[in-house]
Structures are given as structure tokens and as C-alpha cells.
Amino acid sequence: MGKATRDAYGEALKELGAVNPDIVVLDADLSASTKTQVFAKEYPNRFFDTGIAEANMMGVAAGLAAAGKIPFASTFAVFGAGRAYEQIRNSICYPKLNVKVAVTHAGLTVGEDGATHQMLEDITLMRALPNMTVIVPADAKETKEAVKWAASYYGPVYIRMGRAKCDDIMPEDYIFKPGKSFEVCPGTNLTIIACGIMTAMAQKAHDLLKADGISARVINMSSIKPIDKDAINKAAKETGAILTCEEHTVKGGLGGAVAEVLCLNNPVPMAMIGTEDTFGQSGKADELLEVYGLTTENIVKKAKTLLARK
């Protein structure tokens, strides 16, 4: 088991701060949890704790961006994408300001904090905004690379990270590129497209399916917007079936984004794994993933059902 993506985020900020004096970091009284305290300790004059006022924090970030800084605004996903949605829309995306909204504690793996803190619709909200880039890293390595890329890119970026530790997947020489996916495992019978913690589960499902004589391609689709249309269309043509997996609602998230590409170009049998039309609930992270079907075993089951539709 590797480190949590939020830990990698804190490390990346510290590294960026050493080479770029324009990097500034904002937090909403959660720096110990979002790991921005790592940056704050090293560069206290470039760290701003705005308190429990996320909407105001986004406005401050927009002002700093307008003044030539590169702000990373951090909080929990439910507060960043939810509470501050209007400010992200009107103060950041509309004028296309250079603000990076980097959120942690997304999805069911927030665990015992319950439904009020388990943000399951933020990908949907953020990818609908014009000018916004949406990234859901699969592991610590990819998180670092995505954060470094975001700092070099001019424009709004939303980076979605989790609370729990996750498996290492991406190779050491991996470099993040927006609009480009990464093929984790080759396959010819169907394609599993995943993001975040579900990518590791999809990789394990590949091995289980292989034991049953099923060849499953696994694609890590960390760039939700822009999305890798070429990889999706290629997978549809070559494998004839697509299964998406995300720690997020199936309504408008990764599954919705992939479906949009398929229906306009290469319609093939498709299925989605994610939460349905429901909120989460309080419980241990692993138990919640089991309850909502976000498991390796369910990926295998859904894949076999999907194959029967080819």
C-alpha cells in the first residue's frame, strides 16, 4: 500500500515552492488534513489560512491570480466544489483565472464523517464549468505529476484527492499530460476505464478475469476534462465493450463523460460502477465501498455481465 494522494499533494507543494516564488497556498482551516501545512511550515509568508470560509477563499485566490500569483486553494471536496461553487464559476472560471482548486477527502472513503462530507458529485459539477480542467489522480506519483503540471498551466484546474492510502500504480517515469490516459493493462475482450482509487481495483480485476480466460484492458482516465477521446474510441473499436469505475456518482462523472464520447462516435455495450442516485452514509471506508459495490469483485461481476451483451 502506497501513500495517500493528499500526502503527495503536500510534498508536491513544498517542492514547487522551492523553485517558483509565485506559488501561494490557501486553506480553509484544514491544513493538517489537506497536508498544506507542509507548505505553510516551509513558506509561511506565502500561506493564507482563510478560516472556515471557502467562498471567500476562492475570491481571495482569484485576486491573487489576477495579481500574477499561482494560488492553490485547498479544502475538503464537499466544501470546495459544493460550498464555493458560485465563486469558482463566476470569479475563477468565467474570467479564466489561474487558480488551482485542489481538494481532498473526496468520495466514500471519508468514512465515518458520513454523507454530509462524502462528496460524490464534484466531478459532475466541475467538468460542466467552461475553462475548467478536471483531474482525478490514481496514486501518489500521478498526484505529484498532476500538481506540477497544474502549476505550469495557465487556467483553472480542479484536482480531486482522497483521504486514505492507495496502491502505487504509475511507473516512475510517468509524466501527466492533460487529455491523455494511461493503459495500465492490455486487453482485447473488454475495456475497464477507471479513475482515482478505482484504478487499482480495476488492475486487480484484470488479473482475476485473466484467470477466467477474459482479457480486460485497463485504462487510467485521470484526465476527466479534457478526456482522451482517442483512447476511448480505440478501446470501443478494439474490445467492443466499456466498463467505467469511479468513487463518485455515475450521473455525470467519469461514466457520463465516457458515454458522451461513445454515443457520438462508437456506441458499444457499456456499464458503469459508481454510486447510484444516493448519498453516502457513515461507516468504515472499506465497508462503505463494499455496500456501494465499489470493489474488485463487483468489477469482475459487472465485466462478465457486460461481456454477455456483446
* Residue where one domain finishes, among candidates 126, 160, 194: 160
Quote the CA–CA distance of 260 and 255 in Å, as a whole number.
9
**Is the same domain home to 135 and 245?**
no
pLDDT digits (tens, 9 = 90+) for 136-195: 999 999 999 999 999 999 999 999 999 988 899 999 999 999 999 999 999 999 999 999
Q: Is residue 174 part of a domain?
A: no
Nearest to 240 by CA among 187, 201, 199: 187
**Is the same domain home to 78 and 194?**
no
Q: Are 286 and 157 in contact (CB under 8 A)?
A: no
φ/ψ bin of 167: left (φ > 0), alpha (ψ from -120 to 50), beta (otherwise):
beta
Quick one: cell of 58?
Answer: 476562492
pLDDT for res 47? 98
**Is the same domain home to 225 and 272?**
yes
**Is the same domain home to 38 and 149?**
yes
- 309 CB-near residues (< 8 Å, 6+ apart): 241, 269
pLDDT for res 133? 98
Q: Is residue 166 part of a domain?
A: no
**Is the same domain home to 22 and 153?**
yes
Q: Is residue 297 part of a domain?
A: yes
Which residues span the domain enclosing 302?
182-307
Which percentage of the chain shows pLDDT scores above 70?
Answer: 100
Question: Mean pLDDT of all residues in the chain?
Answer: 97
pLDDT digits (tens, 9 = 90+) for 36-45: 999 999 999 9
Alpha-carbon torsion (87, 84, 97, 133), positive or negative: negative
**Is the same domain home to 9 and 154?**
yes
pLDDT for res 202? 98
Q: Is residue 148 part of a domain?
A: yes
Quick one: cell of 219?
Answer: 485504462
Quote the CA–CA distance of 132 and 154 in Å, as a whole number.
11
pLDDT for res 2? 82
Q: Is residue 135 part of a domain?
A: yes
* Residue where one domain finishes, among candidates 160, 191, 222: 160
Peptide bond into 71 cis (omega under 30): no
**Is the same domain home to 11 and 138?**
yes
Look at residue 1 and tell me whether its pLDDT is greater than 80.
no
Single pTM value for the model: 0.97
**Is the same domain home to 42 and 126?**
yes
Q: What is the CATH number of the domain that holds 72?
A: 3.40.50.970
Look at residue 31 and tell me whether its pLDDT is greater than 90.
yes
pLDDT digits (tens, 9 = 90+) for 207-239: 999 999 999 999 999 999 999 999 999 999 999
Residue with cell 483521504: 163
Active-site residue flag, 246? no
Quote the CA–CA distance of 58 and 91 in Å, as a whole number.
8
pLDDT for res 164? 87
pLDDT for res 285? 95
pLDDT digits (tens, 9 = 90+) for 79-103: 999 999 999 999 999 999 999 999 9
The one catalytic residue in 54, 121, 142, 145 is 54
- 63 CB-near residues (< 8 Å, 6+ apart): none
Question: Which residue type does 98 have?
Answer: N
* Residue where one domain finishes, among candidates 160, 191, 220: 160
pLDDT digits (tens, 9 = 90+) for 251-284: 999 999 999 999 999 999 999 999 999 999 999 9
- 166 CB-near residues (< 8 Å, 6+ apart): 1, 2, 3, 4, 5, 138, 139, 140, 197, 200
pLDDT digits (tens, 9 = 90+) for 120-139: 999 999 999 999 999 999 99
Q: Are 65 and 150 in contact (CB under 8 A)?
A: no
Q: What is the mean pLDDT of residues 239-248?
A: 98
**Is the same domain home to 152 and 186?**
no
pLDDT digits (tens, 9 = 90+) for 187-201: 999 999 999 999 999
Q: Exposed/middle/buried for 68, CB within 10 Å: 0-12, 13-18, 19+? A: exposed
Q: Is residue 32 part of a domain?
A: yes
Nearest to 124 by CA among 27, 7, 259, 255: 255
**Is the same domain home to 131 and 274?**
no
Number of domains in the chain: 2
- HSE at residue 130, side-chain half, CA atoms within 13 A, is 5
Question: Which residue type does 278 have?
Answer: T
Q: What is the CATH number of the domain that holds 235?
A: 3.40.50.920
